Chains A and B, each alone.
Chain A
Amino acid sequence: MDLRFSPEENAFRQELRSFFRSAVPETIRAKVSENRHLSKEEMVTSHKILHAKGYAVPHWPKAWGGADWTPVQHYIYTEELQYNGVPQPLPFNVSMCGPVVIAFGTPEQKKRFLPRMAALDDWWCQGFSEPGAGSDLASLKTTAVRQGDHYIVNGQKTWTTLAQHADWIFCLCRTDPEAKKQLGISFLLIDMKTPGITVRPIQTMDGGREVNEVFFDDVKVPVENLVGQEHRGWDCAKFLLGNERTGIARVGYSKQRVQRIKELASRVMAGDRPLIEDERFREKVAAVEVELKALEMTQMRVLAEDRHRKDRLPNPKSSILKIRGSEIQQATTHLLLEIAGPLAVPYQADSDDAQFGSNEPPEDLEWAAPAAPAYFNYRKTTIYGGSNEIQRNILAKAVLGF
C-alpha cells in the first residue's frame, strides 16, 4: 500500500496542467470557474482542442481514440481538467452515448457515430426522463412502433439538457407495450432534424435555459439506429447510468471552487477584517475541505477496487461518490452565496429574458452576480443522474444486501 503518486504520475499531472492552461482559452476557463454559462461555440471550441490532443475520450478503447491510461492517470486527468476550469468534454457524447455504442453497438454504428461523437461534430443529448418517468424511469411511455424498416416514435421527453444545441438524441422508447416494464424498452439513436421533433425550453429558477422538453410526433427512425437488441434497451440504460455515477463526483471542480471561495473571502471585508478571518466562516470552509478530501480519497479507492472487478459492471459504491459529490458541490455554491452576501441580491437577466423587466446592469459585481443563480441551479445535482434517494436504494440493495 502506497498512497503517494509516483514521480511519473506527478510528471503526467504537470504535463496535463500546462496543456490545459496554455491550450484552452483563459476566457472559457474563467467562465467555468465563475459559474457562468458557456455558449455552444465555447463548449465546442474547448472540446475540439482536447480532442486534437487525444484528451476528449481517453477512457474509450484505443481503437476509438482512447488513451490506454492506468486508472490513476484517468483520475489525474479528470482532476486536472476540472481543477483548471476546463469544460468537461460533452458528457452526453463521451460518457453516456459513446460507451453504450462501444459496448452494445454494431460495427457499422461504431464507425458511423463514434468518430463524430468523439470530435463533437455531432452534439448529442439524452432522451430518458419523461413527465411521468423520473426516478421510476422504466415506466416511460414514449413508444416506438416498428413499421417496415422504421420505428415510428411518439411521446415526450423532458429535462433534456442542452437539446437546443443537439444534432442527435439517444432515446429510451417502449417497443413492446405488453412486456413487463423493463423488458419492452429499446435504445434508439434519433436525428434531431427528423420531421416531427419539437424542442421547447424550460427555464429553471436561476433564470438559465439548460433543459428542455422534446416532443416526438410520428418521428420516423431507421431500424439500423437501434442499439443492442430490440426490447433490451434497459441493459444499455443501466450501463449508462452506472457510468454516469463515477463522473458525477466532480472533485476537481469542487477543489477549484474551494480555492475561489478562499480567494474571494480574503478580498471581501466583514467589518474591519477579511471574511476569511471570521472564525465561523473559515471553519465552515475547512469542514467542506475535509469532506472533499474524504471524497477524493474515496474516489481513488473505488477506482482501485474497480481494477480487481472481473465484470465490467459499474461499481455500486460509485453511488457514494454521487451522493457526497453532489452534496459538496451544493455546499460550495452556498459558501459563495454567503461571501456575496447582500451583493448577491441583484438579478442580472440574460439579454433574451424580458420577464423580469428591464434593468441597468449593476456595476462592479461581476464576481457576485452568479452566486445566487449558481446556488439555485446546483440544487439539481442531488436530483439528476439518479436522485440521491435512488442512489441510497442502489446502495441498500447492491452493497448492504437489503
Chain B
Amino acid sequence: MDFDLNDEQRQLKDSVDRLLADSYGDLAQRMGYMKEPKGYKAALWQQYAELGLLGIPFAEEHGGLGQGLTETMIVAEAFGRALAIEPYLATVVLAGGVLRHSGNAALLEELVPAIVEGKLTLALAHQERQARFDLADIATTARADGKGGYTLEGEKAVVLAGDSADKLVVTARVSGARADRSGIGLFLVDAKANGVTRRGYPTQDGQRAADVTLSAVRVTPEAVVAGPDKGLQVLERAVDEAIAALSAEAVGAMGGLHELTVDYLKTRQQFGVPIGSFQVLQHKAVDMLTALEEARSMAYYATMMAAEPDARERRKAMAAAKVQIGKSARFLGEAAIQLHGGIGMTMEYKAGHYFKRLTMIDMAFGDTDHHLRELAKMGGLT
C-alpha cells in the first residue's frame, strides 16, 4: 500500500502539468484550438508524442513505453484540470485499449509506432442510438465473406473524436440477437474507406464527435482486431480502463473547479466583505472538498482495480467508482456555479466549462444510476 508516485511518475506529472499550464492557461487558447481544422491543436498532439504520452500503455515490444494505469491516471488528471480537448481518451485509452487487449500482434506492430509518434489517431466507433449504456447492444452487422474478411453495415452514434480520427475501431455483430453477449467482433476501418460516411459536430464540452454510417464497408482478414469469440470481453477491458481514466480526468476537473471557486469566494466582495467570510458559503466549499476527496479516493481505486483479472470484481469496482465520480461531480459542479453567481453562468468564464465536461463524463459509459443499478444487481461491493 503506497500512494506515492515514484520519481519517473513525478517527472511525468511535472512535465505534463507544465505543458498543459502553458497551452491551456487561458480559456481563450482553448477556444482557439476548437476552431482548428481537427477541432483540437494538432501541434500540441505532436508535443504529447514528444513527451511520450501517446505510448504510455503500449508494450515496449510494440513500440510503446510499457507503462501502466497509474501513468494514464496522471495524464488524465492533468487533462481534466486543463480541460484539454485532444483525443487522448479516444486514441490511446479506448481504441488503443481495444488493440492492446485484443492481443493482435500484427496490428499492434503495425499501428502502435504510428500512434506513439502522433501520426495516427483513432476512434472507437461503438455506441449506437438504441443501446443507451448496454455495451452488448449492437445492431451493426458484420457479414463474413467466407475468406476471413467481413462486410459491415450499420450506424454508430456520438463517436468521440470520430470526425478527426484517421482510423475507426468498429464493433459489429457477427452472430446472435441484438443484445447477445456473444458474437461481437472488432474491426479496423479506415475513416476514409468506401462506404464510411461521417457527420461531425462539436460536443457540449468543447470536444468533437461524429455519427458514422457504415454501408457495405469491406474489412480484410488482416483488419479483424478481435473475432466474435472474444470481442465483447476485449471491449469491456478497454471500457473499464476508460472509466478509470475518466474518473481521473473528472478529479482533475473537480480540483480545478474547486480551486477556482475557493479563490473566487476569497476575492469577491459583497456587503463590504469577501463573501468567503460567510459560514454558509464556507461550509458549502467544505462539502465540495469532501466530494472531491471521495472522488479522488475512488479514482485511485478504479486505477488499481482496472487491472484486476477477475471480470466480476473489476466490473463491481468500476461501477462503484463511476457512481462516486458521478455523484461528486454533480454536487461539486452545481455548487461551484451557484457559489459563483452570475459570472459562473457565462461562456467566457472557466467554471461553466469545467461543469459541462464533468456533466458529460457522467453520461459516458454509464451514468450514476446505471452503475448503481448494476452494482446492486451484482450484490454490491462485498
CB of B133 within 8 Å of the partner chain:
no
In the complex, identify which listed stretch (A40-48, A127-135, A288-296, A348-356) lies at the interface while the others stay far away.
A288-296
Contacts of B262 in A (CB 8 A): 400-401
Q: Is the CB of A289 within 8 A of B320?
A: yes
CB of B205 within 8 Å of the partner chain:
no
**Distance of A400 Cα from B288 Cα, bound (Å):** 11
Given contacts A3-B304, A293-B298, A323-B290, contact A304 B282 (CB under 8 A): no
Give the contact-size bracket for chain B.
35 or more
Main secondary structure of the interface of B (DSSP, over half): helix
| A9 CB → nearest B CB, Å | 7
| A286 CB → nearest B CB, Å | 4
Main secondary structure of the interface of A (DSSP, over half): helix
CB of B79 within 8 Å of the partner chain:
no
Q: Is the CB of A304 within 8 A of B381?
A: no
Given contacts A1-B4, A4-B304, A402-B276, contact A396 B286 (CB under 8 A): yes
| A261 CB → nearest B CB, Å | 10
Given contacts A262-B380, A290-B381, A293-B301, contact A300 B282 (CB under 8 A): no
Chain A window 237-262, contacts with chain B (Cβ cutoff 8 Å), 1 for yes, 0 for no: 00000000000000000010011001
Interface positions, chain B 45-88, Cβ under 8 Å from A, are: 70
| A2 CB → nearest B CB, Å | 5
Q: Is the CB of B324 within 8 A of A400?
A: no
Contact of A1 among B3, B286, B301, B382 (CB under 8 A): B3
Q: Is the CB of A286 within 8 A of B298?
A: no
Interface positions, chain B 329-377, Cβ under 8 Å from A, are: 372-373, 375-377
CB of B310 within 8 Å of the partner chain:
no
Q: Is the CB of B283 within 8 A of A392?
A: yes
CB of A5 within 8 Å of the partner chain:
yes
**Distance of A286 Cα from B381 Cα, bound (Å):** 7
Given contacts A286-B375, A402-B265, contact A3 B3 (CB under 8 A): yes
Given contacts A1-B3, A72-B1, contact A396 B282 (CB under 8 A): yes
Q: Is the CB of A9 within 8 A of B380?
A: no
| B251 CB → nearest A CB, Å | 12
| A155 CB → nearest B CB, Å | 30
Given contacts A72-B1, A304-B4, contact A285 B285 (CB under 8 A): no
Contacts of B298 in A (CB 8 A): 290, 293-294, 297
Contacts of A297 in B (CB 8 A): 297-298, 300-301
CB of A380 within 8 Å of the partner chain:
no
Q: Is the CB of A1 within 8 A of B6?
A: yes
| B81 CB → nearest A CB, Å | 18
CB of A395 within 8 Å of the partner chain:
yes
Q: Is the CB of B70 within 8 A of A1?
A: yes
| A101 CB → nearest B CB, Å | 31
Chain A window 266-302, contacts with chain B (Cβ cutoff 8 Å), 1 for yes, 0 for no: 0000000000000100110111011111111110110
Given contacts A294-B297, A297-B298, contact A289 B266 (CB under 8 A): no
| B256 CB → nearest A CB, Å | 15
Q: Is the CB of A399 within 8 A of B297?
A: no
Q: Is the CB of A283 within 8 A of B376?
A: yes
CB of A324 within 8 Å of the partner chain:
yes
**Distance of A285 Cα from B377 Cα, bound (Å):** 11
Contacts of B380 in A (CB 8 A): 258, 262, 282, 285-286, 289
Contacts of A6 in B (CB 8 A): 1
Interface positions, chain A 368-402, Cβ under 8 Å from B, are: 389, 392-393, 395-396, 399-402
Residues of A within 8 A of B (CB): 1-6, 9, 72, 255, 258-259, 262, 279, 282-283, 285-287, 289-298, 300-301, 304-305, 317, 320, 323-324, 389, 392-393, 395-396, 399-402
Report the 3 A-B pairs with minimum CB-CB distance, sorted nearest first: A297-B297, A396-B282, A294-B294
